[in-house]
A and B are shown apart, each in its own frame.
Chain A
Amino acid sequence: MSDDARAAILRAVRAARPAPVARPDVRAAVQGFAGDACETPDDRALSARFAEAARAGGSVVVEGRRGDLPTLVAAAVPGARRVVSQVDGIVGAVPMPDTPHGLADADLFVCEAVLGVAENGAVWLPLSRLGERAAPFIAAHVAVVLDRTAIVADMHAAYARLDVAAERFGVFVAGPSKTADIEQSLVVGAHGPKEFTVVLIEIAPAP
């Protein structure tokens, strides 16, 4: 049955194909896009742009050292009762539940991003960092740890660095869940996270 449909669609598409159009060299074309906006792509400039974009998207951005992570997270999300963390050392964290439904009453989910994108404040969270696909979409508050050396300028740079197919799931997240479906009024917390915090980890000062 589906073989018939498959053959019929491919046949119809083949018959309808317009004259061949060459594929543009995307990698070459996007070279220099970000350079226009940032002459010295050092991590400090990028992390400042990242923080600005993330805050514009509704994220809370805090900065600190990796050793202070438990304190930073506790201060950013006071009063979280049920905490699920994929990052070591978070006080009071419980292990990932066996089913995604077990995350429904999580107050806080903590994990570490692979990279951040300066142009839009998004962080890349693949399944191996999430532990469970549902986690960043269901917890009331999500806190993501991001090393400030792991920030790239734009989405071109992000896709150049990542292999998005290396894992079965990965997501860019750029703030808390939001909607403007009622009269264009922005409301945060449409479904999962009402707050989204990025903990930017300072580079250790040179000895």
Chain B
Amino acid sequence: MLAAPRPPRRAVLPVVDVASGHHAPNTGPVDHAAAAARFTADEARTDWHDGALWFVREKRDRQAAALPEWELLRELASQIKEHTLSHLDEYLEQFEACATANGIRVHWARDAEEHNRIVHGILVAAGSRRLVKSKSMLTEECRLNPYLQERDIAVVDSDLGERIVQLRGEAPSHIVLPAIHLKKEEVGETFHTHLGTEAGLADPTALTAAARAHLREHFLAADAALTGVNFAVAETGGFVVCTNEGNADLAAALAPVHIASMGIEKLIPRAEDLGVFTRLLTRSATGQPVTVYTSHFHGPRRAQEMHLVLVDNGRSEQLGREGFWRSLKCIRCAACINTCPVYRRSGGHSYGSTIPGPIGSVLTPGMDLERYGALPFASTLCGSCAAVCPVKIDLDAQLYRWRQLVADAGHAGVAKAAAMKGAGWLLARPRLFRAAGALGRLALRALPPRARRLAAGPWGRARDLPPAPDQSFHAWYRQNRGGAGEERG
């Protein structure tokens, strides 16, 4: 029989605590720089993390270089996504009609709370109490797990990396490699505590075998499965899920209820478009030519109910932002994350958002500018993210645009705002600027190194300042290029 749902408790949306990576209550603006400083305090670990991500980036490069048509594929993928987004309402309606005809029950959720309520309602109606989930960044974004657990639904994440962080009470630190921040010894300790593996066991093969046995019991016992969606096809009313482990597929193939949650931006028009995206996704993500499993769902199994929840949660708002709507092209491959020099050396938890790295830093500020205003500054604007993005999102340009908006809204921080104002004032006064330059060159020579670094502010904390040149560029130019640089003002 159906259990009556308990009255919902006060809705608290936990977020990622930037210090510990644990789910924690909202505690104000994310201070990425402070969290990154804590991460880099362990230099050896920072180097290890940096190297692990760069290894994935290099595998991606080899796959990209092996396809002569790589750039054409990126362009095609970008065009398909831009076309879809510019007709998104039509494709949503087409998808809904076709999916419904396939026997899939389609639900619509305006926000995270509505999504969670719908999923809970489906589980209650079906009498399901044991949910096995596969990787879904959307359900992380919606904080589905705590919502369901507060309502007596047992939730087990079945992707190995997600299971590891779930057992530790942490959030994923990466959207494709959820436990990339952890060493095997730490995973061994977690499994020793929760799965009863031998103390000190740290061999990845043995640990994976333990997780396999543990999760197999949950797969077989589950009475509902929830998967994410990589691509939904408007013309066929079906959806595609990509995994290497086969966990999403196995869970969905066993449970009597299959729920798929997707953001409305995951649509593509036609099945033939899948050729473009399946070729790009895994090459960009992990440097494999394709995931081990690419499952195509076009309706429930016999004696199964299949639900699909279409979630907006800020996406339609982002679609209306001229400068930012192209971020919705994202296929969540994490190539921009793996290549980002800031992400690699600050760790995913330092961003305090479900999606870290460059793409997270352009998607999240639109959700809460005050809380996530620091993220667009967690970048060197080197442009590596945009260069590897398989759907050609102009990530660096969007990061730059957010910076203007953050500063305009007054969230840039008092010191930064004052410094920028001061710099603007000085740059508008050439004589004063040259005098300041002369003073600076003198100071660079005269001051002891420690004082010099202090004078450079945060920039000088981990860097030596360059030796002072003998003359300013202005003076050099007048001397060597004569006349062209007439002094004015």
List A residues at the B interface (Cβ < 8 Å). 2, 5-6, 8-10, 12-24, 26-27, 29-30, 33, 36-37, 53, 56-57, 100-101, 104, 117, 119-122, 132-134, 136-138, 154-160, 163-165, 167-185, 187, 189-193
CA distance A9 to B79 in the complex (A): 23
Nearest opposing residue in chain A for B55, CB measure: A184
Residues of A within 8 A of B250 (CB): 134, 137-138, 191-192
Q: Which of B164-223 contact A (CB under 8 A)?
A: 164, 177-180, 182-184, 187, 204-205, 207-209, 211-212, 215-216, 219-220
Indicate if the CB atoms of B85 and A18 lie closer than 8 Å. Answer: yes
| Cβ contacts under 8 Å, A167 to chain B | 298
Question: Which 8 interchain pairs have the tightest Cβ spacing?
Answer: A16-B320, A181-B161, A168-B299, A134-B253, A12-B316, A165-B236, A120-B289, A133-B253
Taking the closest CB of chain A, its distance from the CB of B362, in whole angstroms, is 16
Query: Is B486 close to A, CB under 8 A?
Result: no
Contact across chains for A101 and B208 when beta carbons are under 8 A apart: no
Alpha-carbon gap, A137 to B212, bound state (A): 13
**Distance to closest chain A CB from B368 (angstroms):** 18
Give Cα A159 to B275, complex, Å.
6
Check B245–A26 contact: CB distance below 8 A.
Answer: no
CB distance from A192 to the nearest CB of B (A): 5
**How far is it, in angstroms, between the C-alpha of A185 and the C-alpha of B183 when the chains are bound?**
11
Beta-carbon contact of A17 and B108 below 8 Å:
no
CB nearest neighbor in B for A10 = B89
Q: Which residue of B lies closest to A32 (CB)?
A: B69
Question: Interface code B381-404, partner A: CB below 8 Å = 1, 0 otherwise?
Answer: 000000000000000000000000
Given contacts A24-B79, A178-B245, contact A168 B298 (CB under 8 A): yes
Q: A192 to B48: give the CA distance in the assembly, Å.
A: 31
Verify A26–B76 contact, CB threshold 8 A: yes
Q: List 23 A-B contacts (CB under 8 A).
A: A2-B108, A6-B96, A23-B83, A26-B272, A119-B279, A132-B253, A133-B249, A133-B253, A133-B301, A137-B253, A137-B293, A160-B272, A165-B238, A168-B299, A169-B298, A169-B301, A171-B296, A175-B292, A177-B245, A177-B293, A184-B52, A189-B208, A191-B219
Q: A23-B80, A26-B80 are in contact. Are A185 and B86 (CB under 8 A)?
A: no
Which A residues are in CB contact (< 8 Å) with B317?
A: 12, 16
Q: Which residues of B contact A14 (CB under 8 A)?
A: 89
B369: interface (CB < 8 Å): no
Complex partner residue of A29 from B76, B108, B161, B288, CB under 8 angstroms: B76
Known A-B contacts A15-B320, A26-B76; the reply to A171 vs B295 at CB < 8 A is yes
In the bound complex, how far is the Cα of B179 from the Cα of A183, in angstroms? 8
Given contacts A5-B114, A9-B312, A26-B80, contact A191 B187 (CB under 8 A): no
B142 at the interface (CB under 8 A from A): no
List the A side residues contacting B279 at CB < 8 Å: 119, 154-156
Q: Count of A-B contacts with CB under 8 A?
A: 273
Count, chain B residues at interface, CB 8 A = 98
Which residue of A has the minimal Cβ distance to B208?
A: A187
* Further pairs besides A9-B110, A171-B295: 4, Cβ < 8 Å: A33-B69, A101-B220, A101-B254, A122-B290
In the bound assembly, the distance between CA atoms of A167 and B295 in angstroms comes to 12
User: How far apart are the CA atoms of A3 and B324 in the complex, in Å?
Assistant: 29
Q: What is the bound-complex CA distance between A100 and B55, given in angstroms?
A: 39
Is B109 part of the binding interface, using a Cβ–Cβ cutoff of 8 Å?
A: yes
Closest-by-CB residue of B relative to A17 is: B86
Q: Which of B215, B236, B246 has the most CB of A within 10 A?
A: B246
Q: Chain A interface: which of B16-24, B31-39, B263-271, B441-449?
A: B263-271
Residue B330 lies at the interface, judged by CB distance under 8 Å to chain A: no
Knowing A16-B319, A23-B83, A33-B69, say if A155 contacts B76 (CB, 8 Å). no
| Inter-chain contact A182/B316, CB cutoff 8 Å | no
Chain B 75-94 interface residues, beta-carbon cutoff 8 Å to A: 76, 79-80, 82-83, 85-89, 92-93
CA distance in complex: A8, B179 (Å): 37
B85: min CB distance to chain A, Å: 7
Q: Smallest CB–CB gap between B232 and chain A, Å? A: 12
Do residues B290 and A155 form an inter-chain contact, with CB atoms below 8 A? yes
B300 at the interface (CB under 8 A from A): yes
CB contacts (< 8 Å) of B55 on chain A: these are: 184
Question: Cα distance A170–B274 when bound, in Å?
Answer: 14
Given A177-B245, A181-B179, A187-B204: A159 touches B274 (CB 8 Å cut-off): yes
Q: How far, in angstroms, from A23 to B270 measured CA to CA in the complex? A: 11
The distance in angstroms between the C-alpha atoms of A156 and B252, with both chains bound, is 27
Bound together, the chains give a CA A132 to CA B289 distance in angstroms of: 27
Kindly state whether residue B482 has any CB partner on chain A within 8 Å.
Answer: no
Separation of A187 and B206 alpha carbons in the complex (Å)? 9
Cβ contact of A26, chosen from B87, B244, B275, B288, cutoff 8 A: B275
A57 CB, nearest partner CB in chain B, Å? 7
| Partner of A156 from B220, B264, B272 at Cβ < 8 Å | B272
CB distance from B197 to the nearest CB of A (A): 12
In the assembled complex, the CB of B223 is this many whole angstroms from the nearest CB of chain A, namely 12
Give CA–CA (A121, B312) in the complex, Å.
Answer: 36
Minimal Cβ-Cβ distance residue in B for A126? B296
Residue of B nearest to A9 (CB): B312
* Pairwise interchain contact B183-A183, C-beta atoms closer than 8 A: yes
A158 touching B245, Cβ below 8 Å: no
Nearest chain B CB to A43 CB, angstrom units: 20
Closest to B205 in A: A187
- Closest residue to B52 on the A side, CB-wise? A184
Residues of A within 8 A of B275 (CB): 26, 30, 154-160
**B68 x A181 contact (CB < 8 A):** no
